[in-house]
Amino acid sequence: MSVANFFQKDSYVSNTSRSVISGFIGGLAGTAVKTLIEQVLPVREIDQKSSQMKIVDDLSTKITGSPVSTHNEALAEQLVNIPMGGSLGAAYGYGKKNRFGLKPMDGIIFGATTWASTHETSLPILGLEPKPTDVPVRMQINELFAHVAFGVTTELVRHYIDKQLRESN
């Protein structure tokens, strides 16, 4: 059986594979869009490290004895963002394996719940970000906007890739 035939089949394994792959690629694209937005809209104070950098610095200190150098911070931050975005997109794609068609509202909900479950709850609880009450509203709105753009982009790309895999010859 060819790969094209495998992806065209309407079986559980084919639907799941197609959905996870398309979601993963969508999550990568969504991460790129979110990263670009965060370059323009401030999501934290200038002197505040992102939660990703705190994690990478801690890991680097444990392994090498020193934190990540300043000129490598942008790359190091993406070493957390890229797999995280791809993984979230893959999970999103899996959840949509039996829901066909483009649903931008699903992407909005996905992005908003990702924001709420990270920046508004788990990251502050873990001490990686300040409590939501300590973050200026404008920065919270910017962060929410970036996450909604992540979710919508993930949905758009997921739908496109899923359709291409379904229709490939």
Query: What is the tally of structural domains in the chain?
Result: 1
Q: For tokens 């890229």, what's the residue?
A: 82
Confidence at residue 41, expressed as pLDDT on a 0 to 100 scale = 94
DSSP 105-156: HHHHHHHHHHHHHIIIIIHHHTTSS--GGGS-HHHHHHHHHHHHHHHHHHHH
**Is residue 35 assigned to a domain?**
yes
**Is residue 3 assigned to a domain?**
no
- Residue 166's alpha-carbon distances to 15, 122, 138, in angstroms, are 9, 37, 42
pLDDT in tens, 2-19: 666 666 667 778 889 999
pLDDT in tens, 73-84: 888 888 889 999
Tokens for 133?
């009450």
Range of the domain at 125: 8-167
Cα–Cα distance, 130 to 159 (Å, whole number): 35
**Is residue 84 assigned to a domain?**
yes
**Is residue 159 assigned to a domain?**
yes
Confidence at residue 86, expressed as pLDDT on a 0 to 100 scale = 97
Tokens for 13?
């394994």
pLDDT in tens, 40-50: 999 888 778 88
